[in-house]
Amino acid sequence: MNLARLLELGEAMHQELGREYYLTGAGLKAQPAFQAIYDRYGALVSDEALDAARASGAAPLVEWIVGIRIGRLVASLEEDQLRWEQEAVVRAGDRQVPYLRVPIELANEPDRANRLALDDARGRMVAGEVTRLRRERFGLEHDAVERLGYGDYVSGSSALMEVNLPALARAGEAFLSASEALYRDALARLAKRRLGVPVGQLERADVAWAFRVKEYDAAFPLGELIETAVRQMREMGMDAHQAGRVRFDTEERPAKQPRAFCVPIRVPEEVYLVLRPRGGHSDYRTLWHELGHAIHFASVDQGRSFADRWLGDNSVTEGFAMLWDHLTLDPTWLGRYTGLRAAEVRDLRVELLVHELYSVRRYAAKLAYEIVLHGTGLPTGGPEYAGRLTEATLFRYGEDDYLQDVDPGFYAARYLRAWQLEAAVSAELTRRFDVDWFRNPRAGVFVQHLMSRGQADPADRLAQEVTGAPLSFGPLLSRLEADLQ
Ligand SMILES: [Zn+2]
C-alpha cells in the first residue's frame, strides 16, 4: 500500500465514522455500526499500512494507525461497557437511578446522606462488571503496544504520542505541591459555605454539588445560549457558524445524548455541534468548549494535508476549546455577556476558579496514577488511585473507580497540555490585545490564523512560537495565584 492510498482510505473512514457518531449521538439513528465501518476499512490495520505510515517518517501517521489497530481490538469490550452503562440501574435505599443519570442527580441533590448513599451504590456496581471489562481492555492495549515493538505501555505511549509522559507527570506533581496551600485555603472556605463540612470530611460524592453554582442559573438562560455565542464571536469579527461549515443541532430528540459534543464529518467543510442544553453556567461553559473545537476544525485551511486536518496532538484542539470555555470564567466576559452585577461576578468567579483548580489537580494526580497503574500491572491499583486522588483533590476518593476513571490512551496528558497551552495563549492575547481581547477583531484574526493550521504543530511547538516560552504549568499557576489569593 502506498502512502497516497493510505491517506485516501483514512479520510474516507473518518468521514464515515464521523457521520455515524453524529447520527447516533444526535438520536437520529438507534444502532451504531462502527464495527462494520472498521471492517470495511480493514486494509488500514494491515502490516502494509503500518509499514507505509512508518516509512513516511510522520509520527502522527504511525500513532494514528496504531490507534486504529487498538480501537478495533477493544471495540467489542467498549460496546459491552456502553451497553452496561445504558442498562444499569443504581439502587440506593428506595431510590432507583439509571447509571447514566447519577452524575446529574449528584449535582442536584442537596441532601448529603442521599448523595453519599447514591455514589456508594454506584461505586459498588462499577467495581464489578465495569472493572472486569476495563481490566481486559487495558490488558489488550498493553499487549498490542508491546507486540509492535514499543516496549512497555508507558514508554510506548510516550514514543507514539511524542510526549514524555513521565516528565509531564513530574511537572504535574510539582504543580500539585506549588498550588497545595492555595487550594486548601480556597476549598476550605467554599466547603464551609456550601456544605458546612470541613475539608477533612469531604467525599467525592460532594464534588458536583459543591461546584454546582445553582443560584446563578438565571444569569445563564437557555434561550440566550446560542445567541450570546453568536454575538460574542461577531464582536471578535468571527462567524460562529463559519459560513455554514459549523452546523448547530439543537433540536430536541428523545435519544439524543445529554452532553454537548462536536464532531467533524468533513474537515473543514462539515462540522456538527450537537447540544441538548438546560441552561446554567456549566451549559454555557460546555457550549463555548465545543464551539472552540468546532471553529478550530472549520478554520483549517482546505489545502492542508489529511494529517494536519484530522490527526496530530489533540492537546491543540483541546487547548482551543479551553481558550473559548475559559472565557466563561473571565470577569470582563461575565460582566459583558451576563446580567450579573460586579459583586455577583466576583463571588461566582471564586467558586468557578476553585473548581478549575480542583480539575487541574485531579488530572495531574490522574496522570501520575495512570503511569504507575500501566507501569506496574493492573489488578491492584485501588489503594494507589484512592490515595493519590484524595491527596490531590482533598475529596475522599474510594477505590472502586480505579480502572473506570482511567482515560484510554493517556488522554489525561492531552488535557494537561491543553490547560498549559490555553493559559499561555490567553496571557499572550491579553498582552497583545488587552483583557477584552475576546471582542477585538484583531485578536479574532490572530486566533483564526493559528487555528488554520489544524494540528500540524503539537502544543509545545505552538506555545513556543506564540509566546516564546516552552509549554509549562507556569502561566496557569500564576493566573490561579493572582485570581484566588
Ligand atoms: Zn474537548
pLDDT of residue 378: 59
> How many angstroms is it from 39 CA to the middle of ligand 1?
28
| pLDDT in 10s for each residue of the chain, 485 residues | 899 999 999 999 999 999 999 998 898 988 878 888 989 999 999 999 999 999 999 999 999 999 999 988 998 898 888 889 888 999 998 999 999 889 889 999 999 999 999 999 999 999 999 999 999 999 999 999 999 998 899 999 999 999 999 999 999 999 999 999 999 999 999 999 999 999 999 999 999 999 999 999 999 999 999 999 999 999 999 999 999 999 999 888 888 887 889 999 999 999 999 988 877 999 999 999 999 999 999 999 999 999 999 999 999 999 999 999 999 999 999 999 999 999 999 999 999 999 999 999 999 999 999 999 998 765 678 999 999 999 999 999 999 999 999 999 999 999 999 999 999 999 999 999 999 999 999 999 999 999 999 999 999 999 999 999 999 999 999 999 999 98
Q: Which residue has the cell 467543510?
A: 269
> How many angstroms is it from 451 CA to the middle of ligand 1?
15
> How many angstroms is it from 250 CA to the middle of ligand 1?
19
> How many angstroms is it from 290 CA to the middle of ligand 1?
6
pLDDT of residue 306: 95
> How many angstroms is it from 292 CA to the middle of ligand 1?
8
95 three-class SS? strand
> How many angstroms is it from 415 CA to the middle of ligand 1?
8
**Residues 142-195 pLDDT 10s:** 999 999 998 899 999 999 999 999 999 999 999 999 999 999 999 999 999 999
The set of long-range contacts for 129-132, using a CB threshold of 8 Å and a minimum separation of 24, is 129/84, 130/81, 130/84, 130/85, 130/403, 130/404, 131/400, 131/402, 131/403, 131/404
> How many angstroms is it from 285 CA to the middle of ligand 1?
11
> How many angstroms is it from 321 CA to the middle of ligand 1?
6
> How many angstroms is it from 95 CA to the middle of ligand 1?
33
> How many angstroms is it from 194 CA to the middle of ligand 1?
28
> How many angstroms is it from 416 CA to the middle of ligand 1?
12
Does the CA dihedral 20-25-27-33 come out positive or negative? positive
> How many angstroms is it from 314 CA to the middle of ligand 1?
9
**Residues 10-28 pLDDT 10s:** 999 999 999 999 998 898 9
328 three-class SS? helix
> How many angstroms is it from 197 CA to the middle of ligand 1?
32
Beta strands 261-266 and 270-274, pairing class: antiparallel
Residue 21 in contact with residue 263, Cβ under 8 Å?
yes
Total-model pTM: 0.96
Backbone phi, psi, residue 299, to 5°? -95, -10
- Of 354, 329, 362, 412, nearest to 195 by C-alpha is 354
> How many angstroms is it from 449 CA to the middle of ligand 1?
20
> How many angstroms is it from 198 CA to the middle of ligand 1?
33
Q: Which residue has the cell 504543580?
A: 175
> How many angstroms is it from 293 CA to the middle of ligand 1?
7
> How many angstroms is it from 117 CA to the middle of ligand 1?
31
* DSSP type of residue 312: S
> How many angstroms is it from 224 CA to the middle of ligand 1?
22
Taking the C-alpha atoms of residue 298 and residue 300, their distance in angstroms, rounded to an integer, is 6
> How many angstroms is it from 340 CA to the middle of ligand 1?
27
> How many angstroms is it from 320 CA to the middle of ligand 1?
9
Start-end of H helices in 162-206: 165-194
> How many angstroms is it from 356 CA to the middle of ligand 1?
15
